A = this chain, B = another copy of it.
């Protein structure tokens, strides 16, 4: 292994000088020294030992993202946003996966990043257990949750779930629909509750109280959509459905087709997320689009502020705007 000592010896300077040159500390050197050091480093094939640097600096330019599941198809967009913005500031990104549910696995993933001096931690759609949240806080490392909101003090950047539920439902209401189902509502403490509240609010504005079977729970999966539609049945009085994710929407769509229903003529469907999945089914899915890319970007900016000791944003909770993308799965109600 080539170290700065080797370079120092070769060039005839002290290791500290090499360190300064390679670390671009001000430009207090003769151009000649810089040149010689750089050349020697290249020729010897020098590679910095970050462990050593991190040990003394107790800091690094690495951002860690902890992701709840490999399967979510929007995580990629958030990561792209993080990656792009991180590159902007010279931060590196490492990602670790953890299934949201299991506290032990969560802990292992957290430890992987806490045990080294990362510059900040971004948690993607993670519902951290209390123990693990404590662990995270004690680490003193700046952090922020992404794409998941909470009703306590935790910092997060996400969409406003109540608004999502409200606007999706309102969109169908404005098209004349009154019997509207919610398919695949999740069981997380907040997301599901808030989306449901928004859904009920939009319905209440036109004096509709949803029947119990209108709301079908699920886990964002394609199967959840299939199952929800099976519950509704081929002769349902529902004319519109809000689906908890694009995959749920596709499940509802396919099951409706299997029942011989036409979409959107017999049934209107609006999805939530707005991933590329919306465009590969027929009809293409109208959806409430979340700006995942922007969450990633905002997450990096948050970490950066924290790194710069701006404590004012420590527990800031921030919403990223949503929008409705009209495609072909909703039509006016004929009733």
Contact = CB atoms under 8 A, between A and B. Distances in A.
B92 A94 contact: no
A280 interface: yes
Contacts of A116: 49-51
A54 interface: yes
A70 interface: yes
A254 interface: yes
A116 B92 CA distance: 13
A209 interface: no
Interface string A276-304: 10011110000000000000000000000
Given A83-B97, A222-B276, A282-B257, A115 B48 contact: yes
Nearest to A251: B280
A320 interface: no
A52 interface: yes
Contacts of A48: 115
A71 interface: yes
A70 B76 contact: yes
A55 interface: yes
A218 to B, nearest CB: 15
A50 B80 contact: no
A114 interface: yes
Interface of A: 1, 45, 47-52, 54-55, 58, 62, 70-71, 73, 76-77, 79-80, 83, 87, 92-97, 108, 112, 114-117, 138-139, 222, 247, 250-251, 254, 257, 276, 279-282
29 contacts: A45-B138, A47-B139, A49-B115, A50-B51, A51-B55, A51-B116, A62-B112, A70-B83, A71-B76, A73-B73, A79-B97, A92-B96, A92-B108, A93-B96, A93-B97, A93-B112, A94-B94, A94-B95, A94-B112, A95-B95, A95-B96, A95-B97, A222-B276, A222-B280, A250-B280, A251-B280, A254-B280, A254-B282, A257-B282
Given A1-B58, A51-B52, A254-B282, 13 more contacts: A47-B139, A48-B115, A51-B117, A70-B83, A73-B73, A79-B97, A92-B108, A93-B96, A93-B112, A94-B95, A222-B279, A254-B280, A280-B281
